[in-house]
Chain A
Amino acid sequence: MSQLDLSIESGEIVGLIGPNGAGKTTAFHLIAGFHPPSAGTIRFKGDSIVGLKPHAICRRGLARTFQLVQPFAGLTALENVMVGAFTRERDTAAARRHAGEILDFVGLGPRRDTAARNLTLGDRKRLEMARGLATRPELLLLDEVMSGLNPTEIEAIIGTIRRIHERGVTLLIIEHVMQAIMALSHRLVVLHHGEKIADGPPALVARERKVIEAYLGEAGDGTAP
């Protein structure tokens, strides 16, 4: 990761794309406080969040999901989301109520009492979003919530992401499913070898030569997109 200059305005949906190993997930780790940056600053709502632990960043209103879903396997869907809800609620009944609402919102209402380990991958991706959402974030980082899902599930999750945005949540999304990210994003940022090589409206970015080269390799060296 070197010299990434990235800014996100409140209310935006920004797509973060790039070939495998471009540093997208690393960028998320840095923003959410899982790795300290070796240099530079990260500001959220005007304040530096460098050096804060992930939970403190989460409390300030910046939540994330994990690329490889990390549910609390032994807990039910509802209990998983309650953990997130406790970020803003002290009272157990209030946390349970809020978590129930969020589960209904992402379409997991009927699964609320299912142990997370028994959920399908699609449901676990939703659970991951629900847990993040329950912390009442202003900015939510979604890390490949569509990978491994079938087209129907992807269609449904795009709808969910749109509705999350309608709630007033700003979104930064890493995604490999191109049609989805093109359709969702107001702006696309392309990373390659840890550097930003493009930043702009999706339609323009997709035509940029450097972006095409990053994905296809110069003179087409056979790297898959």
Chain B
Amino acid sequence: MAVRALAVLAGLALLAVPPFLPKYFLEVLISILFFAYLGLAWNLLGGYAGQFSFGHAAFFGIGAYTSTLLLLRAGLSPWLGMLAGGLLATGFGLFEGYLSFRYGLRGPYFSLVTLAFAEMLRVVTVNLKVVGASLGLVVPSQTNALLFVFADKLPYYYVIAVMTAVALAITHRVARSRLGYCLVAVRENEDAAEAAGVDARGAKLRAMAISAFLTALGGTFYAQYFAYIDPTITFGPAISIGGLLPAIVGGAGTVLGPVLGSFVLTPISEITRAMLRGRAGADIMLYGLVLILVISFLPQGLMGWLRARRAS
């Protein structure tokens, strides 16, 4: 299949080319994969299950803070800390999901509740001295691969590349499994899904668990890569949006959508920022305009558009 061959080729290029890239382009590429990864994580719950979370920053922040605090207070390597963060975020996601789904919150109500949970964590963190309050936490930056600190950008690139590949593989697997079909059925029509034997709440909670876990790992990556976290960055709406946008623009509920979306969106965001340096906010306005155009003209995302073209 031509598409598969193309994907394999693109994958190989992504492995082989980066060592030869100038630093700036490598950073952009890391950024692209980072948002692709967050998009993939969001997509399992938001795209496949159709549960439009607006608060995935909650899981991201839990991941970033858990691994960083375990490193600072207990000397635990972030490689292990990220698993702890993932598990904690999963627990929090299940709690949040159970409450929401138990009371039948759907659509915008679910979105608002997830947003509220993330904001709640942000406000708590801002006011909690033991976790650094609004000043945030600085991650020690002496190079040590065992502590997830590297001397240059390239290893970080390969870490996020592997994470993205794993998230892709998980998505691919889920999409073709019983769970994947159940999630899509719930998204399309929850009552009909229940009537056809689908445990709607159970399926949504499973999607929530995987999605929260993966998102939290992204939080740890962020903390190690930028060596600094604070409540506004990690628990703020910007991260929630940063995950859902690539998925929606690329095609929610498709395997490759979030990756495609990030490859289109992240460079646009970088270019507008570089072009309009010095004019505060202008880049965000231009970025917003591009988004409006994409969403108005490609409601099914880029994947939907490509499929329609292939079908006709």
Contacts and interface: CB of A to CB of B under 8 A. Distances in A.
Nearest to A136: B197
Nearest to A82: B181
Contact of B181 (A34, A56, A66, A83): A83
Given A82-B181, A95-B178, A75 B197 contact: no
A70 interface: yes
B191 interface: yes
A90 interface: yes
A54 B177 contact: no
A32 interface: yes
Given A75-B188, A86-B181, A92-B177, A131 B194 contact: no
B196 A135 contact: yes
A58 B195 contact: yes
B193 A83 contact: yes
A71 B192 CA distance: 7
| Most A Cβ at <10 Å: residue of B176, B185, B192, B198 | B192
A55 interface: yes
Contacts, number: 86
B197 A58 contact: yes
A83 B178 CA distance: 8
A58 B194 CA distance: 8
Interface string B173-195: 00011100110110011011111
B205 interface: no
Interface in B191-229: 191-200
A215 interface: no
| Most A Cβ at <10 Å: residue of B184, B191, B198, B200 | B198
Contacts of A92: 176-178, 181
| Chain A interface residue bracket vs B | 20 to 34
Contacts of B184: 72, 74-75, 79
B50 to A, nearest CB: 10
A73 interface: yes
A54 B192 CA distance: 10
A3 B228 CA distance: 67
B194 A59 contact: no
| Most B Cβ at <10 Å: residue of A58, A72, A82 | A72
A87 interface: yes
Nearest to A88: B197
Contact of A132 (B177, B191, B195): B195
Given A54-B195, A72-B184, A83-B181, 8 more contacts: A34-B194, A53-B194, A55-B194, A55-B195, A59-B197, A79-B181, A83-B193, A83-B198
Interface of B: 176-178, 181-182, 184-185, 188-189, 191-200
